[in-house]
Structure 1
Amino acid sequence: MNPIQSEIRNFVAENFLFGEDPESLQNDDSFLETGIIDSTGVLELVAFIEDQYHVEVDDDELVPENLDSINRLIDFIDSKLKELA
Structure 2
Amino acid sequence: MQVKEILRKQIAETILFTKSYPYQDTDSFMENGVIDSMNVIELVLFLEQQFGIQVADHEIIPDNFDSIQQLTKFVHSKQQVAA
Deviation readout 1:36-60 (Å, 9 max, x if unpaired): 1000000000000000011110010
Calculate percent identity across the aligned residue pairs. Answer: 41
RMSD: 1.4
TM-score (normalizing by structure 1) = 0.90
Q: Distance in 2 between the 1:23 and 1:81 partners?
A: 24
TM-score w.r.t. length of structure 2: 0.92
Contact 2:8–2:21 under 8 Å retained in 1:
no
Q: Any unmatched runs of 5+ in structure 2?
A: none
Across the two proteins, how many residue pairs are aligned to each other?
83
Cα gap change, 1:49/1:23 in structure 2, threshold over 3 Å: closer, same or farther?
Answer: closer
**Which residue is equivalent to 2:38?**
40
Amino acid paired to 1:18: F
- Runs (4+) of structure 1 exceeding 3 A deviation are none
